[in-house]
Amino acid sequence: MATRTDAPTRREQILKEAARLFAERGFHGVGVDEIGAAVGISGPGLYRHFPGKDAMLAELLVGISEQLLTGARRRLAETGGAAGPEAVLDSLIEGHIDFALDDRPLITLHDRELDRLRDSDRKLVRQLQRQYVELWVEVVRKVHPGLAEPAARSAVHSVFGLLNSTPHLGRPGSSPGRAATAGLLHRMARGAFAAASPAAG
């Protein structure tokens, strides 16, 4: 989503507007006609792309979990050679910050609406998220070798909570610019991992 540079497809436009509207007003507070109006097509026209709102929600939440995991694996492959674990961790943090700043409605949507997914879709989201967490845990423990696995996992979840706080930063213009915010979040994430390490004591 946030990483694409080419023009979005109609399907992607629908998903983006659905995410925004669902996050603003709740899943049940938005009708198909309103989503259609946001992208310039009739409500019934949406059914050429999705069978219904449930399918949109599932694609949004499963899709972002897949993208985060795929992106993390790509970053690990690109920086995991001579660059060392510090560079890998920095790259993972940068990738998650990009998501947290550019896809804020999906964070709100996940927090509020995950339980509305079918069991199979919800289990898939959780499975993808576990793989994403474990990838981070492995890298964090290379950077902070004294950190036990359970503590590293707790630290990763805590950092995700910090980075995923972006929906609460306020309206555009009421907080520092994107670059300044990204830098602050990066420093806080690295500081949280350092503080969790036994060496910090």
Say which CATH number the domain at 57 has. 1.10.357.10
Which distant-in-sequence residues (6+ apart) come within 8 Å of 88 by Cβ? 75, 76, 79, 80, 139, 142
Distance CA 186, CA 114 (A): 27
Tens of pLDDT along the chain (201 residues)? 444 446 678 899 999 999 999 999 999 999 999 999 999 998 788 889 999 999 999 999 999 999 999 999 999 998 866 678 999 999 999 999 999 999 999 999 999 999 999 999 999 999 999 999 999 999 999 999 999 999 999 999 999 999 999 988 765 555 678 899 999 999 999 999 999 988 765
What is the extent of the structural domain holding 159? 52-200
Res 29: pLDDT = 94
Q: Is residue 15 part of a domain?
A: no
Q: Is residue 30 part of a domain?
A: no
DSSP 166-200: GGGS-STTSS--HHHHHHHHHHHHHHHHHHHSGGG
Overall domain count for the chain:
1
Q: Is residue 145 part of a domain?
A: yes
Q: Is residue 90 part of a domain?
A: yes
Q: Is residue 65 part of a domain?
A: yes
Global pTM?
0.88
Instruction: Answer yes or no: are the C-beta atoms of 151 and 196 closer than 8 Å.
Output: yes
Q: Is residue 149 part of a domain?
A: yes
Distance CA 32, CA 38 (A): 10
Which distant-in-sequence residues (6+ apart) come within 8 Å of 83 by Cβ? none
Res 197: pLDDT = 87
